[in-house]
Amino acid sequence: MNDERYSPLANRLSRRSLLKGLAASTGVVLLAACGREMSGETSGSTGGAATTAGAGTAPTAATGAAVTTTAGGAAPTAAGGTSPTQAAGGAVTTVTWYAGRDTTGWSVKQVEAFNAQSQNIKIDYQEQGATTDDLRNKFVTVATAKDPSADIVSMDVPFVPEFAAAGWTIPMEDYLPQSERAAFFKGTIDGATYKNKLYAIPWFNNGPALFYRKDLLEGAGLPPPKSYDQLVEAARKLQTPEVNGYILQTVQNEGGMISWLEMLWAFGGALVDDNLNTVVDKGTAGVQSMQRLVDWLYKDKIVPESTLTMRTSGDAANAFAAGRGVFLRMWMSQLSVMDAQNSQIRGKWDLTTLPSLDGTKPGPGCLGTWNLGISMFSKKQKEAAEAIKFLTSQEQQKRSYLDGGRLPARSAVFDDPDIKAKYPFSDKLKPSFEALKPRPVTPYYGQMSLDAIQPNFGSAVSRQKSPEQAIKDMAARMKEISGQ
């Protein structure tokens, strides 16, 4: 009861100073928030929709149409005099595309091209977080709630069986008839198929390559490495305090884990066998490949420890493009980064296939096709299919490769003279792309990767567990998950 009489006024945290404090801190938060730009404008204007602009030559800068179907109000028509809410072909339907992060910016251009030539369907392109895992989490949340807000969804190879088994995506059998599938790489079609049904259409192909600094290797008189030993030797020889020997993602997520998976395959191992039984702990390949990677980090020191925090493939590609690496294991989808405006290595790089253990043939790469599928809960499945048809067409896949550096899922694109002229290494890549290996095709893969493979991989490369222990724990948990 004494409280009020005492406590001198001057000592109190006055309301004014509290307000001042709050105002100051809010300012900081606002400043921080303003640093990020929105990727998709919600511009209502899709002007120029009536022009028959060819793909890739969209005249306007309207990114990703409007969020809602009120986009109809913004579709000017050639037929003058009609109500602005009525386009020539009727009302405009906007389909929402749940996509992964695209640092090259090409997807947005593709959307612009589609929106420019389509009268009554517009795509609203929405990236869901920075990593593949983010996209998966977001779509899974929406799908388990049976929410119709996603129409098109970008799918990494392991998503296909997972989403199909859960009943979240529709079969696409009718949208890409059997006869048209021969135009695609067989591996990409297999990767989009679950239990003999097609659940997605391959959008662009993706696989790894070994990028290297042509100038540095030629300067030392070294050929591009064919085996791991040659790679290590060259990396050791050429690396300096500023330029690391070998950059590859070793972060604890899907991207980092794949770096090891490709080594596991090169050592003759596998995660599961043809009958989906866990075999990663059989033989010595698992432990040896993991040990090799750990040695690269801490013993040979050709792989910098900063790769342990490279969450996106863009992080690793940018480090190489900034001139900080001699070698880089990278997805071909990052091709355009190397010759981008701000690249320090323009004209100083080349690429080849991944190394293998003995160097007699190219090392196995991981199939990283991205597919487009349709949500089971979408209310605009027909329109979504129309959009997908455009995005995966021969013409668009050629454009994507030429202008966006994205490898085609349609093998015929590789034989196009324009492509051969621009990318002399295309012939070299085609066979290795036909040999890309998928990750285990099972609906359990998603959980296996998140709960068993990634954490144990992460524990090993951060030296929390020995490679032996990590492989043992990984196998035990994989068996638990798949119920073996």
Partner 1 sequence: MATTQGTAAPVAAGVVTAGRRRRWSAQGRAEARFGLLLIAPAMITIFAVAFLPLARTFWLSLWSINLRFADTPRRFVWFENFAQILQTERFHNALWVTTRVAIVSLAAELVLGMLIALVINRQFRARGLVRASVLVPWALTTVVAARMWQLIYQADYGVFNRILYDLFIIDSYKPWVISPQFTLWAMIGADIWKTTPFVALLLLAGLQLIPGDLYEAAAIDGASAWQSFWRITLPLLRPTILVASLFRLIDVARMFDLPLVLTGGGPGFATETLTLYTYRVLFQNLQFGLGSAVAVLAFLLVVLVSFIFIKVLGAPAGRDARGV
Residue (42 or 144) nearer to partner 1, CB? 144
CA distances from 194 to 137, 363, 433 (A): 21, 27, 21
A 10 A CB-CB count for 44 gives: 17
Considering only the stretches 94-102, 105-113, 261-269, 306-314, report the one whose residues sit in contact with partner 1 under the rule CB under 8 A: 306-314
DSSP string of 168-187, one letter each residue? -B---TTTS-GGGGGGB-HH
419 binds partner 1 (CB under 8 A): no
Q: Which is nearer to partner 1, 398 or 477 (CB)?
A: 477
> In this complex, which beta carbon is closest to partner 1, that of residue 42 or of residue 464?
464
DSSP 88: T
Is 2 an interacting residue with respect to partner 1 (CB under 8 A)?
Answer: yes
Q: What is the DSSP string of 268-337?
A: T--SB-TT--B-TTSSSHHHHHHHHHHHHHHTS--S-GGGGG--SHHHHHHHHHTT-EEEEEEEGGGHHH
Single residue of 119, 120, 137, 227 touching partner 1 by CB under 8 A: 137
In whole angstroms, what is the distance from residue 329 CA to residue 248 CA? 5
Tell me how far apart the alpha carbons of residues 29 and 36 are, in angstroms, rounded to a whole number.
12
**In whole angstroms, how close is the CB of 461 to partner 1 at the nearest point?**
7
CB of 422 to partner 1, least distance (A): 34
| Shortest distance (Å) from residue 28 CB to partner 1 | 6
Q: Which is nearer to partner 1, 264 or 310 (CB)?
A: 310
Token pair 């349609």 in the structure block, residue: 410
Q: How far apart are CA 405 and CA 351, in angstroms?
A: 14
For residues 354 and 453, which CB has a smaller minimum distance to partner 1 in the complex? 453
Instruction: Name the DSSP letter for residue 194.
Output: E
| Residue 30 near partner 1 by CB under 8 A | no
Q: Pick the closer one to partner 1 by CB: 105 or 167.
A: 167
Q: Is 28 in the site for partner 1 (CB under 8 A)?
A: yes
Tokens describing residue 220: 């030392």
For partner 1, the binding residue among 53, 243, 276, 308 (CB under 8 A) is 308
- Of the listed pieces 81-89, 176-184, 284-292, 447-455, which binds partner 1 according to CB under 8 A? 447-455
162 lines the binding site for partner 1 (CB under 8 A) = yes
Q: How far is the CB of 160 from partner 1 (least distance, A)?
A: 14
Return the closest-CA partner of residue 433 out of 402, 461, 412.
Answer: 412
Taking contact as CB under 8 A, which single stretch among the options 84-92, 96-104, 303-311, 366-374 is the one that binds partner 1? 303-311
If one asks whether residue 458 binds partner 1 (CB under 8 A), the answer comes out as yes
Q: Measured between alpha carbons, how far is 98 from 310 in angstroms, rounded to an integer?
A: 23
465 in contact with partner 1 (CB under 8 A): yes
Spell out the residues 6+ positions from residue 439 whose beta carbon is closer than 8 angstroms to its own.
157, 158, 258, 261, 271, 366, 367, 445, 449
Q: What does the alpha-carbon distance between residue 286 and residue 296 come to, in Å, rounded to a whole number?
A: 16
Q: Which is nearer to partner 1, 39 or 227 (CB)?
A: 39
For partner 1, the binding residue among 160, 461, 474, 478 (CB under 8 A) is 461
Among 456, 471, 474, 478, binds partner 1 (CB under 8 A): 456
Please answer whether residues 471 and 260 qualify as being in contact, where contact means their C-beta atoms are separated by less than 8 angstroms.
no
Question: What 8-state DSSP symbol labels residue 350?
Answer: E
Q: Which of 419, 447, 468, 472 binds partner 1 (CB under 8 A)?
A: 447
Considering only residues 238 through 257, tell me which ones interact with partner 1, judged by CB under 8 A: 251-253
Is the Cβ of residue 162 or residue 281 nearer to partner 1 in the bound state? Answer: 162
Which C-beta is closer to partner 1: that of 290 or that of 429?
A: 290
Q: Is 18 exposed, middle or buried (0-12, 13-18, 19+ CB in 10 A)?
A: exposed
Residues that bind partner 1 (CB under 8 A): 2-3, 5-8, 10-14, 16-18, 20-26, 28-29, 32-33, 137, 140-141, 144, 162, 165-167, 251-253, 304-306, 308-309, 443, 446-447, 450-451, 455-456, 458-459, 461-465
